[in-house]
Amino acid sequence: MQIDSTVKLNNGVKIPLLGFGTWQIADSKVCERAVLAALNAGYRHIDTAAIYGNESGVGSAIRKSGIPREEIFVTTKLWNDHHDDPVRALEDSLRRLGMDYVDLYLIHFPVPQRNASWKILEALHSRGKCRSIGVSNFTVRHLSGLLDIAGVVPAVNQVELHPYLYQMDLIDFCTKKGILVEAYSPLTHGARLSDPRLVALAARYGKSPAQLLVRWCLQKGLVVLPKSVREDRIAENADVFDFIISSADMAVLDGFNENLRTCWDPTDAP
Ligand SMILES: NC(=O)c1ccc[n+]([C@@H]2O[C@H](COP(=O)([O-])OP(=O)(O)OC[C@H]3O[C@@H](n4cnc5c(N)ncnc54)[C@H](OP(=O)(O)O)[C@@H]3O)[C@@H](O)[C@H]2O)c1
């Protein structure tokens, strides 16, 4: 595994395992600087969303980087308020990004209109506006309902995942159905980076707690999406390809699970 390692989605499209998260980087100049720093550090996968308010910053950073568009994997998401017209929502996102396609378009959250919207995403996919389509924050129940009506199996389910929220049943279900799991908030949104058990374990590898958490996701076969606005941390979070967490220590980390949710809890979403 290395920084630009990819895995194939269920439609054959390759996705880099390491992605750069951009939530809560609303200022477009700050976002542009952070994405440029990520691209300079070697990330080739950027995760944004209409609701993050930074698609234009992501697009301009990609253009300024000089890296060919097709070498960068770009994800954006359909926000909850835009299910009345997903076609227009994607067109608006593409205009803000300054792109004519995205690599992955996700339903951001399992709102009640999700299945009807999925059929529209399938049409957008067949028209080449999004190379892959997927979902986010879907539980097994939401996925099962979607699979009943889907012509295209979602390529991805992007959910909160880290050792403190180790959603094994969801990972198993997705794996059986050919849906790749992406880990968002892999650094627990900062909430557990000072956990003394994590700090001690990381020190044994000469790595930071954040690096250990990113590496744990990669060794679980997950796509991982750490975010930072700081250049030093952006590089640090990607410097995880020169060590391997032993299987005994992976089990120790698995044991940290406490069903901690730092973001959404979609469990009761109807
Ligand atoms: N689909 C969804 O509903 C959803 C929900 C949440 C997140 N996401 C995606 O997942 C990405 C990552 O999740 P996230 O932004 O919630 O949180 P995260 O990546 O788990 O953690 C980010 C936090 O950790 C800090 N940090 C980053 N690197 C660090 C390091 N090496 N050492 C110490 N602190 C560090 C950041 O601060 P600084 O920025 O100041 O460094 C920030 O406060 C998002 O940006 C977004 O793309 C998706």
pLDDT > 90: what percent of the chain? 100
Cα separation, 20 vs 122, whole angstroms = 26
In contact, 89 and 79? CB cutoff 8 Å: yes
Q: How far is the CA of 52 from the centre of ligand 1 (A)?
A: 13
Report which protein residue has its CA nearest ligand 1's atom 14. 185
pLDDT > 70: what percent of the chain? 100
Which residue matches tokens 């994607």? 90
| Residue 55's pLDDT band (cuts 50, 70, 90) | very high
pLDDT of residue 64: 98
How many alpha carbons lie under 13 Å from residue 16 in its C-beta half-sphere? 22
Please state whether 220 falls in left (phi above 0), alpha (psi between -120 and 50) or beta. alpha
Which H helix or E strand runs over 47?
strand 45-47
Tell whether ligand 1 has an atom less than 6 A from the beta carbon of residue 54.
no
Cα separation, 141 vs 204, whole angstroms = 40
Cα separation, 89 vs 205, whole angstroms = 45
In contact, 20 and 47? CB cutoff 8 Å: yes
**Residues 80-106: tens digit of each pLDDT:** 999 999 999 999 999 999 999 999 999
Q: How far is the CA of 250 from the centre of ligand 1 (A)?
A: 22
| Residue 45's pLDDT band (cuts 50, 70, 90) | very high
Interval 117-135 mean pLDDT = 97
Residues annotated as catalytic (active site), given as ranges: 52
Q: Which residues have a Cβ under 8 Å from the Cβ of 144 and sit 6 or more positions away? A: none
Angle at 53 between CA 49 and CA 56, to 5 degrees: 90
Cα separation, 235 vs 39, whole angstroms = 10
Transcribe 196-256 into DSSP letters: HHHHHHHHHTT--HHHHHHHHHHHTT-EE----S-HHHHHHHH--SS----HHHHHHHHTT
| Residue 116's pLDDT band (cuts 50, 70, 90) | very high
pLDDT of residue 53: 97
Closest to 95 in 3D by CA, of 45, 129, 52:
129
Q: Ligand 1 pocket check: which of 23, 105, 139, 236 to mutate, most ligand atoms within 8 Å of Cβ?
A: 23
pLDDT of residue 183: 98
**Residues 152-205: tens digit of each pLDDT:** 999 999 999 999 999 999 999 999 999 999 999 999 999 999 999 999 999 999
pLDDT of residue 174: 98
Q: Ligand 1 pocket check: which of 184, 207, 212, 262 to mutate, most ligand atoms within 8 Å of Cβ?
A: 184
Atom of ligand 1 nearest to the CA of 232: 31
CA distance to 92, 107, 159, per residue, from 81 (Å): 13, 11, 20
Which H helix or E strand runs over 90?
helix 86-97
Q: Does domain 6-260 have CATH number 3.40.50.300?
A: no
Atom of ligand 1 nearest to the CA of 210: 31
Q: How far is the CA of 229 from the centre of ligand 1 (A)?
A: 9
| Residue 148's pLDDT band (cuts 50, 70, 90) | very high
Q: How far is the CA of 188 from the centre of ligand 1 (A)?
A: 7
Atom of ligand 1 nearest to the CA of 227: 19
Cα separation, 138 vs 129, whole angstroms = 23
Q: Which residues have a Cβ under 8 Å from the Cβ of 201 and sit 6 or more positions away? A: 212, 249, 252, 253
